[in-house]
Homo-oligomer: A and B are copies of this chain.
Amino acid sequence: MTAHTDVFAALGDPTRRTVMREVSTRGSATATELAVPLGVTRQAVAKHLAVLADAGLVDARREGRETRYRPTPAPLGDAISWMTEVGGAWDERLAALERQVARRRARG
């Protein structure tokens, strides 16, 4: 449905954002790997990773007895598109207003 909601909501939590950054910089990570450095339980990290996976930001893959998560930052592009679109609407509005002001000023 609205993938944007999932992505923004996923990134709305600071711990989850740290998880995402960590997975990205490491290239891959597991829940137990990140639990200690993040100061939370493994289950908490697993939940965060599940949310990130639901948003399509990471990809889970079972390898033997551990499940490694790798970043799939494609949805970030969609989120950026939304932002630039909304920001762009405002910019257009601003530009239109400026044109109008310029016209009025030209008329006197």
Contacts and interface: CB of A to CB of B under 8 A. Distances in A.
Interface of A: 2, 4-5, 8-14, 17, 20-21, 24-25, 27, 71, 73, 76-77, 79-80, 82-84, 86-87, 89-90, 93, 97
B76 A27 contact: no
Nearest to A5: B14
Contacts of A77: 87
**Identical chains in the assembly:** 2
A4 B24 contact: no
A21 to B, nearest CB: 5
26 contacts: A2-B14, A4-B14, A4-B17, A5-B14, A5-B17, A8-B8, A8-B12, A9-B9, A9-B12, A9-B13, A10-B12, A11-B12, A11-B83, A12-B12, A17-B82, A21-B89, A24-B86, A24-B87, A24-B93, A71-B86, A71-B90, A73-B86, A76-B83, A76-B84, A80-B80, A80-B84
